[in-house]
Amino acid sequence: MTVLVTGGCGYIGAHVVHALHQAGEKVVVVDDLSYGKPTRIEGSRLYGMDIATPGAGERLAEILDAEGVDSVIHFAARKQVGESVEKPLWYYQQNINGMLNVLTGMTQSKNAKKLVFSSSAATYGVPPVDVVPEDVVPMLPINPYGQTKLFGEWMARACEQPFGIRFCALRYFNVAGCGPVELEDPAILNLIPMLFNRLKQGKAPAIFGDDYPTPDGTCVRDYIHVSDLADAHIAALKYLDRDKRKYDAFNVGTGEGTSVRQIVDEVKKVTGLPFTEAVMARRAGDPPHLIGSPKRINEEMGWHAKYDVEDIVKSAWDAWQANPEHHIDVDTWKQAD
């Protein structure tokens, strides 16, 4: 199997590239390097390109055939909820055009007919149940980011029958932690790196909103270790080898909810830093409560999460401390504000 990974130099993408190499697969990466680094893909061939630009579909088709690719894992997208609220048209342009070009490339390719799509729990919006199954109705994303992911699923599903594309979407919840320390999250966009970054500056880590209708007032999420998520992608590729597939969308989560304040408390425990957090105003587009049922992926693919929240925070801290640019001297650390 030869797998093309779009966005393979990024946080999740690099972990999946690593897992594919561990499984003995050949990997090709397409990335615009807006967040990732080419050193993260373990010698895979890298094609530098922005997949959202005109003509990218035809170029992808050339790459797919030149490299003998039969499977695509599509990560490359913009992914900040708040930013999507502020720049909706840009998010539609980037994420929907990116998916359009990936599908264009695959439909023009000879052999690339399996697609695993990096979707999101943001497709659910504010669901009417505490633990969300994949077939919850209605699916009403409340921010442009979630809308682009849901539309991406529709686009891929529409290409199954006329073009023979085998497709499944993995709807992630809150991805965190680190595998090999050199694969540390390169962008300060997710909660735990954001907390560490504030600590690096001697500043109070921020909690955005403590007046949500949740037990402690902060947002509750299903946190999934990035190494567990990488394993789910390997399982999804194997699932697409089946001629009979009952489903094409799967939650990747633990089924357990953890609040932002609980994450902050775990960071205090793991780091040993005596910080005081600051409560800020809510961010636009954040649902109060989002936990996914992993029952479908457990039963259909035999995939189960192995790591808990303590593992997630500890692995993220180990990777942060291993980076000389990020390292915090715990013994001398003081909070400046």
pLDDT digits (tens, 9 = 90+) for 29-70: 999 999 888 999 999 999 999 999 999 999 999 999 999 999
* Beta carbons within 10 angstroms of residue 250's beta carbon: 26
Segment 83-103 shows an average pLDDT of 97
Using only the alpha carbons of the chain, give its radius of gyration.
19
Segment 80-99 shows an average pLDDT of 96
* Domain identity same for 110 and 187: no
Asked whether residue 20 carries a pLDDT value surpassing 90, the answer given is: yes
* Domain identity same for 168 and 208: no
Residue 335 maps to a domain: no
Residue 182 maps to a domain: yes
* Domain identity same for 103 and 217: no
* Domain identity same for 217 and 105: no
**Which pLDDT score, from 0 to 100, does residue 186 have?**
82
* Domain identity same for 20 and 81: yes
* Domain identity same for 186 and 264: yes
Residue 328 maps to a domain: no
Q: Tell me the residue range of the domain where 211 lies.
A: 177-222+254-288+307-322
Residue 296 maps to a domain: no
Residue 113 maps to a domain: yes
Taking the C-alpha atoms of residue 63 and residue 167, their distance in angstroms, rounded to an integer, is 20
Active-site residue among 47, 145, 172, 223? 145
Q: How confident is the model at residue 309 (pLDDT cuts 50, 70, 90)?
A: very high
pLDDT digits (tens, 9 = 90+) for 215-268: 999 999 999 999 999 999 999 999 999 999 999 999 999 999 999 999 999 999
Class of residue 309 by CB neighbours under 10 A (exposed 0-12, middle 13-18, buried 19+): middle
pLDDT digits (tens, 9 = 90+) for 99-143: 999 999 999 999 999 999 999 999 999 898 989 999 999 999 999
* Domain identity same for 266 and 147: no
Q: How confident is the model at residue 84 (pLDDT cuts 50, 70, 90)?
A: very high
Residue 299 maps to a domain: no
* Domain identity same for 246 and 141: yes
Q: How confident is the model at residue 214 (pLDDT cuts 50, 70, 90)?
A: very high
* Domain identity same for 214 and 243: no
**Which pLDDT score, from 0 to 100, does residue 336 have?**
84
* Catalytic site includes residue 145: yes
Residue 300 maps to a domain: no
Segment 303-325 shows an average pLDDT of 97
Extract the tokens encoding 141. 């994303």
* Domain identity same for 84 and 124: yes
Looking up residue 279, the CATH number of its domain turns out to be 3.90.25.10
Mention every residue, 6+ apart, whose C-beta is less than 8 A from residue 158: none
**Which pLDDT score, from 0 to 100, does residue 189 have?**
82
* Domain identity same for 102 and 197: no
**Which pLDDT score, from 0 to 100, does residue 233 have?**
98
Looking up residue 53, the CATH number of its domain turns out to be 3.40.50.720
Segment 65-79 shows an average pLDDT of 97
Residue 336 maps to a domain: no
Extract the tokens encoding 170. 């993995």
Helix H or strand E encompassing 180:
none
Last residue of a domain, one of 236, 252, 268: 252
**Strand pairing partners for 114?**
71, 166
Percent of the chain clearing pLDDT 70 (strictly above)? 100
Domains held by the chain: number? 2
Extract the tokens encoding 241. 């080898």
Amino acid 8 reads G
Segment 259-286 shows an average pLDDT of 93
**Which pLDDT score, from 0 to 100, does residue 130 have?**
83
* Domain identity same for 22 and 97: yes
Helix, coil or strand: residue 240: coil
pLDDT digits (tens, 9 = 90+) for 191-212: 999 999 999 999 999 999 999 9
